[in-house]
């Protein structure tokens, strides 16, 4: 994937396009954003419940705020 995904506006479907990010992780990311507000930095992805270090690393590479 070459196009960056905007983490604060991405839909679950857009997040699912990231390799290794399935339905559960996409849902958790959107739910976390809805409950805690916009992500202020990429390191906040580490706070999303259920993400492994490998998955957060993949997501951080393809998202913008």
| pLDDT on residue 9 | 95
CB atoms within 10 A of CB 45: 19
- List phi, psi (to 5°) of 63: -115, 155
**How confident is the model over 11-37, as pLDDT tens digits?**
999 999 888 888 999 999 999 999 999
**Confidence (pTM):** 0.85
Residues spanned by the domain of 28:
5-64
Residue 2's pLDDT is 60
Q: Cα(first)–Cα(last) distance of the chain, in Å?
A: 17
Q: What is the pLDDT of residue 11?
A: 95
Read off the CATH number of the domain in which 60 is found.
1.10.150
Q: How many independent structural domains does the chain possess?
A: 1
């Amino acid at each position: 994937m070459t196009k960056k995904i905007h983490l604060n506006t991405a839909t679950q479907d857009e997040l699912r396009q990231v390799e290794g990010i399935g339905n559960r992780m996409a849902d958790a990311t959107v739910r976390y954003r809805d409950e805690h507000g916009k992500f202020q930095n990429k390191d906040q992805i580490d706070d999303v419940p259920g993400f492994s270090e490998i998955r957060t690393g993949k997501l951080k590479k393809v998202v913008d705020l």
